[in-house]
């Protein structure tokens, strides 16, 4: 990993994501891009001189605010630190972040999520949802109450697809840095055919491509997919949930459609790492 991009709105909810992005950049010895996206009301943009002056002032103000924000929550930023501060004017926060991720060839986008549930924010948060769907690189969404000092157990929810192999290879890189256990789980309804045979096939494929020694596999049959996943995360004391984003057919989306409202009572407070098939 060479570049991590962290985007903030200066809120308290984004602090955990900042600390985690910084921790990962230190562990990977890579560049950290800290950015903020702002927009100017359309009424001001109709007057070109006013728009330009306003944009210049806001760029300067937000740049200073960005440095102050990082200093407040990370401590004094050394001049030798491999951190760049970027401010972008864009009417779309999502497009602004993705544009800079492409410009800096970011390997990972890190953002904070409001509320206690990473999965809830994944489903409802417009910026996070937009990033997960549009960004070609990996997206890490971090709930504000997440612990960011320990990654002993990472859970990957698989649907037995070829693309999962490539996603797990990327997860392996992160897990190895933290010496973390990777627990691969597949939760299927009782109607699913030959789940145990698929698991054995998937194990064989993974072992041919991934050499990481700290990987375990679990196959669970249940009609309550979402509840079972929540229980599995709690039981395994997971510090991170990873999954593959497919075009309108992700592991979570496919099963959550069955009973979305009741499933939203989830109270997961761990980071959600999303791999996009376009970036694998």
Distance between CA atoms of residues 140 and 221, nearest Å: 28
The pLDDT of residue 24 is 94
pTM, to two decimals? 0.85
Looking at domain 3-143, its CATH superfamily turns out to be HUPs (3.40.50.620)
Compute the half-sphere exposure of residue 175: CA atoms within 13 Å on the CB side of its CA. 28
Distance between CA atoms of residues 121 and 272, nearest Å: 10
Task: Tell me the DSSP string of 221-258.
Answer: E-S-HHHHHHHHHHHTT-SEEEEEE-TT--HHHHHHTT
Q: Are 252 and 233 in contact (CB under 8 A)?
A: no
pLDDT tens-digit series, residues 14-73: 999 999 999 999 999 999 999 999 887 665 445 565 666 777 888 889 899 999 999 999
Q: Are 243 and 252 in contact (CB under 8 A)?
A: yes
pLDDT tens-digit series, residues 174-199: 999 999 999 999 988 766 667 788 88
From the DSSP assignment, how many helices (H) and strands (E) are in the chain? 11, 10
Domain boundaries, the chain: 3-143, 153-279
Looking at domain 153-279, its CATH superfamily turns out to be HUPs (3.40.50.620)
Which residues does residue 215 pair with via DSSP β-bridges, in sequence order?
A: 182
Do 153-279 and 3-143 have the same topology in CATH? yes
């Amino acid at each position: 990993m060479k570049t991590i991009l962290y985007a903030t709105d200066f809120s308290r909810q984004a602090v955990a994501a900042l600390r985690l992005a910084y921790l990962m950049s230190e562990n990977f010895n890579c560049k950290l891009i800290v950015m903020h996206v702002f927009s100017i009301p359309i009424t001001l943009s109709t007057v070109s001189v006013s728009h330009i002056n306003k944009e210049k002032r806001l760029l300067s103000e937000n740049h200073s605010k960005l440095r102050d924000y990082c200093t407040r929550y990370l401590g004094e930023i050394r001049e030798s630190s491999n951190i760049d501060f970027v401010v972008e004017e864009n009417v779309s926060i999502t497009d602004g972040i993705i544009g800079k991720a492409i410009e800096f060839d970011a390997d990972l986008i890190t953002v904070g999520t409001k509320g206690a549930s990473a999965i809830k924010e994944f489903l409802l948060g417009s910026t996070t949802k937009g990033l997960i769907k549009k960004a070609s690189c990996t997206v890490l969404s971090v709930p504000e109450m997440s612990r960011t000092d320990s990654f002993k157990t990472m859970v990957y929810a698989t649907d037995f697809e070829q693309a999962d192999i490539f996603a797990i290879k990327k997860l392996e890189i992160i897990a190895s840095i933290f010496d973390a256990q990777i627990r691969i789980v597949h939760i299927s309804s009782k109607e699913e055919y030959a789940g145990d045979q698929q698991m054995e096939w998937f194990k064989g494929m993974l072992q041919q491509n991934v050499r990481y020694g700290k990987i375990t596999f679990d196959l669970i049959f249940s009609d309550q997919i979402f509840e079972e996943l929540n229980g599995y995360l709690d039981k395994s004391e997971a510090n991170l949930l990873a999954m593959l984003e497919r075009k309108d057919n992700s592991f979570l989306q496919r099963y959550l459609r069955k009973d979305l409202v009741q499933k939203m009572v989830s109270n997961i407070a761990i980071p959600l790492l999303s791999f996009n098939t376009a970036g694998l």
